[in-house]
Structure 1
């Protein structure tokens, strides 16, 4: 099974819609968002897409009340957690946070197959012992061509997708 990993939307709805369309067109049924919606607008866009998205908050998320309301009362596909989450999917244990410092520490424990983070707006894929640590870059586009990552849970392979190339 392939999953989608993305982070740091910062209200760039155009790039978010390209990303979500890629997931839909490629039958990526489970996605992971590593924080920084910024406003509730991206949360509503994700909710309306129908794409199952496990989410954590980042440091740039304002109006958390409205984002929580969307996740808990309007969109079943928006699986919102606080700043940290552990999700089990196909016998894989996945930890997710916005912050690389915490993600690095989680990965070093060896308790997870996959650890996800964001915040830096830069792609980083690293193997720490038997744990894959992934920062998918950013959807925002502040650092150039926005990116997200496709990860194959079966063979532990990664693919970096550049949004502007879609």
Structure 2
């Protein structure tokens, strides 16, 4: 079992490197044990900004992540980067990680998971229940002019959405 009771959640960074660096700083300061990225990293060079994380990552490709070979190579030392939807277990909780929410309701009803994390819409969405559904919004800030991330306490299942400001 992994140590640490909090997870950082980020999505749709879209190459906005200053906001990525600020998110990493928040995650490190908070002491998260894992960072989940719900897709749309975009360019392999963004791995440089995630390298200072003090924990591993679980990443799913987004619809704009065209350079999959380069992203896979750049992020290989940081954690798992794979197509979605996919599941993994962390702190005895089963997670479903996806980028696009097209099958969200079906997944929520049938996947047998504790937490569903998705991105793509650029809008914050936290739905308490079973399963807990989280979209951290967009960290890139390009579409909504607001950059957000989320912190999940795995024990209490409490979600805190934080705005990134530079």
Task: Give the alignment of 1:50-89 within 5 angstroms.
Answer: 50-72=54-76, 75=77, 77-89=78-90
SS at match of 1:108: helix
Q: Is the 8 A contact 2:150 2:160 kept in 1?
A: yes
Match of 2:147 in 1: 146
- Cα displacement (A) at 1:144: 2.0
- What CA distance in whole angstroms lies between the structure 2 residues aligned with 1:140 and 1:90? 28
- Cα displacement (A) at 1:51: 3.3
Q: Is the 8 A contact 1:3 1:31 kept in 2?
A: yes
SS at match of 2:146: coil
CA RMSD between the two structures: 1.5
SS at match of 1:144: coil
Match of 1:22 in 2: 26
Change (3 A) 1:57 1:110: closer
- What CA distance in whole angstroms lies between the structure 1 residues aligned with 2:91 and 2:36? 15
- What CA distance in whole angstroms lies between the structure 2 residues aligned with 1:41 and 1:118? 21
Size of the aligned set, in residue pairs, is 161
SS at match of 1:49: coil
SS at match of 1:124: strand
Larger displacement relative to structure 2 (63-72 or 142-151): 63-72
SS at match of 2:102: helix
- Cα displacement (A) at 1:45: 2.2
1:96-138 Cα deviation digits (max 9, x unpaired): 000112233211225010000000000001135x100111100
Match of 2:121 in 1: 120
Does structure 1 residue 137 correspond to structure 2 residue 137?
A: yes
Q: Which aligned runs of 4 or more in structure 1 are off by greater than 4 angstroms? A: none
Larger displacement relative to structure 2 (99-108 or 135-144): 99-108
Does structure 1 residue 2 correspond to structure 2 residue 3?
A: no
Structure (1 or 2) with the greater helix fraction: 1
TM-score by length of 2: 0.90
TM-score by length of 1: 0.90
Any unmatched runs of 5+ in structure 1?
none
Q: Is the 8 A contact 1:96 1:116 kept in 2?
A: yes
- Cα displacement (A) at 1:26: 1.2
Match of 2:99 in 1: 98
